[in-house]
Amino acid sequence: MPPPAPDPAPLPTTPRIGLLPAAGVSASAYLLFGLQLGGWGHGLLALSLLGALLVSRELAKDLLLIGLGITIVSTTSVKADVDWDRFFTIGTVLLLAVAVPLLVDRLVLRRRTIRFPWLSGRRWNRWQWGYIVAVPLLGWLLLPFYFITSGAYQNWPHITDAGELGRFLVGVNFVGTWDELFFICTCFALLRRHVGLWPANILQAIIFVSFLWELGYQEWGPLLTAPFALLQGWLFTRTGSLLYVLIVHLLFDVVVFLAIVHAHNPGMIPIFLV
């Protein structure tokens, strides 16, 4: 097993009370994306950032970067939609949610705290190759059952047009890539500097799952998305490779795409058990 990936920058000691404003930032995402309570969500976010400033300037800086991304995403609905206007609107908002915190980190705060370590410099071992194979297999077994029995597939549009199917596939992979850039390389990496591995992983998973809820993974979807979010954070820590966790995510998302199309069009993709 490879050693844990190093923190992105040297870290001054953060008091344990710093967990409270960090949790508040994550909870604000639940209010904004999960419950659609804009006023309460933004209010809690602002209060949490103020609390962070009272605890530690470094904590406040890092939570501000996360808060910027959350706020940008909250400016539009991310409910799944493949119409051209929503396709570009959602894409632009998600790009800004990654780019703005990165630019603020580099140009305003004069740091390199947010990083995207594509390669770890180490060969993949057997368990990593095994997980690469296991992920799409588990998706093939679980995802059709989830989407069909819960009815959650109806949160995605019924698509038969080839052009819309193409946009849907691109959109699924784009969002999957963005998930890793924002939730793992930004939220998780910044939180981990202050509250430790597993508290940071749980807090990023709350933001991750809240976003996916608005996207369409509703009903009992969090029973699938929460373990996936936690595993992605853990994998990133163990491998130190964005490329690895991204490949895992995109393989899973290919099965998501196929399962949703299958749920809307039974018999169109006869590879599933449900």
Q: Is the pLDDT of residue 38 over 60?
A: yes
pLDDT at position 244 is 95
Percentage of the chain exceeding pLDDT 90: 84
Helix (H) or strand (E) run with residue 39 in it = helix 38-55
Least confident of 18-22, 191-195, 264-268: 264-268
C-alpha 24/C-alpha 52 separation (Å) is 10
Domain boundaries, the chain: 16-264
User: By the 8 A CB rule, do 147 and 220 touch?
Assistant: no
User: By the 8 A CB rule, do 222 and 229 touch?
Assistant: no
Lookup: tokens for 64: 């501000």
pLDDT at position 161 is 85
Q: How many CB atoms lie under 10 A from the CB of residue 120?
A: 16
On average, the pLDDT of the chain sits at 93
Alpha carbon of 60 to those of 64, 109, 221, 261: distances in Å? 6, 12, 32, 43
Q: Is the pLDDT of residue 9 over 90?
A: no
* Average pLDDT of the segment spanning 45-51: 98
| Position 8 confidence tier, pLDDT thresholds 50, 70, 90 | low
Q: Is the pLDDT of residue 168 over 80?
A: yes
C-alpha 231/C-alpha 237 separation (Å) is 10
Least confident of 12-16, 93-97, 225-229, 269-273: 12-16
